[in-house]
Structure 1
Amino acid sequence: MLSDPMVLILMYFVLPVWLIAGFADWLCHRATHIESTTGAKESLIHLLMFVEVGIPLLAAMFLEINALIIAVMMIVFVLHEATAMWDVRYATTARTVTPIEQHVHSFLEMIPLMGLVSVVSLHWGQFLALFGFGPEKARFDLAWKEQQLPVGYIATVMTVILLFELFPYVEELFRGLRANSGRLVPPKARRNKAGDTAAR
């Protein structure tokens, strides 16, 4: 499995680009002073999206892919898209979402879809079985991968996620809370409506 070109593309192209886009998004938030515009509330939304993408990512890294995992990935993808819409709707109440940030968002929205489609293509039989088609029987058990990913790869990915994804967004949350005396929503965001900054 690890010699399959699609698996290698997922491991060494799709995931790294996704992580780079996530860190770039944090830089965009910092540049537009998220702590004094939309504050900790938007940071909590970002952390929610982090959890939403983390669930299928961890499943893909450690568990055998079957109908259950594919179903979870599909459901979480839809939830992530809905959360992303909520995020942008709230962000535009008080923070300027720059063209660069919008472009970064396009990566953050489409790369999960690319990953999902790639996983489905690798496990087509279980995808069909999920909907009652094909010769395979749908499996809904949780089982560790028979062939685990290399330990060095897992350690590197987890370290990068902690240092450049989780820690920055947690820092963003606390920065927003400090800037607004513990309040989730800064005064500017409370006064405005969704789209106010986009309409400028």
Structure 2
Amino acid sequence: MFRRRKREQPEQQVVEAAVQRQARESGPWDADEPHPQGDRVDLGGMRISVSEGFDVQIAVAGDQPIGVVVIHDDSALQLHAFAAPKRGGLWDEVRTKLVASVKEAGGTVEVTEGPFGPELAGNIPAEGGTQAVRYLGVDGPRWFLRAVISGKAALDSAVAEPLEAVIRDVVVVRGEEPMAPEEPILLRIPGERQAVPAPPEAGQNPFRRGPEITETR
């Protein structure tokens, strides 16, 4: 009896894990897990859902699409997806590096609890003063999604809700090809959708450089 229970235990854990994944009410989602279907913009390594009133732009470094910029009223959301190790996430490590980068740049930052877990709220140097910004991170299966919210949404939780809803409905398509940890998951530009230069620092390795932000006017 003891041996039989011991053999069955891993199977039971697998079933329980599958049930927990299906029970999640919101994302970001992995492309291989059950998730709500909807009308999302297919960007290859990322699928996003936006409503009327949102402006979606593709951030490029050279000729390579590397991220998404979603603008809503006076706020902006940056989204970048990266490969992650099979075991363990990146957000704890990335968060520590971002704190150091913000302070080194002369800004201020503190760890707060947000809708996706620990996040960073800070003020970074900008033209004419400082810019409020929020850094959010979500660890998925073999991927890490980083979000940066700026503008009014960085200070007002009610204003931030539409952008947070975009994050909750993101589907990350990691793929099966080998990728090094922290390597960007590349995107593609659908149809004639506008491509814009990558925001400051976005073309560099964001894990080793200072804070990045999209300036909205």
TM-score (norm 1): 0.32
Relative to its length, the structure with more strand (as a share) is 2
Relative to its length, the structure with more helix (as a share) is 1
TM-score (norm 2): 0.31
